[in-house]
Structure 1
Amino acid sequence: MNQPITQQPGLAPPATDFQMTVNPLMPRGVPRAWSSGLLQCFDDIPSCLIGFFFHPCHQCCIASDMGESCCVPMCLPGPLISMRALHRGRHNVQGSLLNDCCTSIFCGWCAGCQLAREVQGIKSGRIQA
Structure 2
Amino acid sequence: MGRQWNNGIFGCLNNCTLCLVTWFVPCYTFGMVAEKVGENCLICGLSLMVPILHLYTMSLIRGRVREQQDIEGTFVEDCLWTWFLPLCAIAQMAQEVGFMSPGGDGMARQ
Could you tell me how far 1:75 is from its partner in structure 2? Answer: 4.5
Decide which structure has greater helix share.
2
Q: Which residue of 1 aligns with 2:67?
A: 89
Q: Note the aligned Cα RMSD (angstroms).
A: 2.0
Could you tell me how far 1:90 is from its partner in structure 2? Answer: 2.3
Cα distance change of structure 1 residues 33 and 60 upon mapping to structure 2, 3 Å threshold: same
What are the ranges of 5 or more consecutive residues in structure 1 without an aligned counterpart? 1-29
What are the ranges of 5 or more consecutive residues in structure 2 without an aligned counterpart? none
Relative to the length of structure 2, the TM-score reads: 0.78
Could you tell me how far 1:67 is from its partner in structure 2? Answer: 2.7
Q: Which structure is larger by alpha-carbon Rg, 1 or 2?
A: 1
Q: Which residue of 1 aligns with 2:25?
A: 54
1:35-50 alignment runs, 5 A limit = 35-50=6-21
Could you tell me how far 1:39 is from its partner in structure 2? Answer: 0.5
Q: Which residue of 1 aligns with 2:46?
A: 74
1:1-129 alignment runs, 5 A limit = 30-70=1-41, 71-75=43-47, 77=53, 78=55, 79-120=57-98, 123-127=106-110
Relative to the length of structure 1, the TM-score reads: 0.68
Residue identity over aligned pairs, in percent, reads 26
Q: Distance in 1 between matches of 2:65 and 2:87?
A: 17
Q: Residues 24-71 of structure 1, C-alpha deviation per residue, up to 9 Å, x if partnerless?
A: xxxxxx210001111012211111111111111221121122232112
Asked if structure 1 preserves the Cα contact closer than 8 Å seen for 2:37 and 2:64, the reply is no
Structure 1 residue ranges, 4+ long, deviating more than 3 angstroms after superposition = none
Cα distance change of structure 1 residues 108 and 125 upon mapping to structure 2, 3 Å threshold: closer
